Amino acid sequence: MMANLDLEHARAVVELGPGTGPFTEMILHRIGNQTAFVAMELDATCVARLRQRFPGLNVYQDSAEKMGEYLARHGLRKADYIISGLPWATLPTPVQKAIFEAILATLVPGGAFTTFAYVHACWMPRARQFRRRLEAHFDRVELSPVVWRNFPPAFVYRCFFAGASAVQM
């Protein structure tokens, strides 16, 4: 998920849907001392566990579409990297669109968005819709090889954004 992301030199990193924190732990080990890190999680139980597991973590129980508001609490408007564990294939279209718009509005020019998808779900209509969104709005979209050892097998989208102007959706 974080291959080729220069988290150490990032000004700000956002994680969407950290759940129990497997990516959170890796992010915390890779960010620099001056990097602001904000995590957005809806589930109250997961938020409590994250706060217990990672004291001092800036984790907020709110919708991912509000990431900009929470970055502002840290004196920031944009993030260099947005790393997502959200289940895009199952998100209702209006929710998917709102979060995607927030990602485009929050990512700095030259920034990157990374997320994963399960192989078995990539043919679902919302998963295909999500992929079309990525390809329409990012300058470059890369797919990793399938990680067959993962259960269920998954692959990673790495999306790079020049960001001169966000295209209207």
Domain count for the chain: 1
Residue 166 belongs to a domain: no
Nearest to 141 by CA among 128, 129, 150, 132: 132
Across the chain, which has 169 residues, the per-10-residue mean pLDDT values are 92 97 96 96 97 96 96 95 96 95 95 95 93 94 94 95 48
Residue 164 belongs to a domain: no
Residue 163 belongs to a domain: no
Residue 1 belongs to a domain: no
For residue 163, what pLDDT is reported? Answer: 58
Distance CA 124, CA 136 (A): 18
Residue 45 belongs to a domain: yes
Residue 114 belongs to a domain: yes
User: What CATH number has the domain bearing residue 46?
Assistant: 3.40.50.150
Residue 167 belongs to a domain: no
Q: What is the domain range of residue 56?
A: 7-158
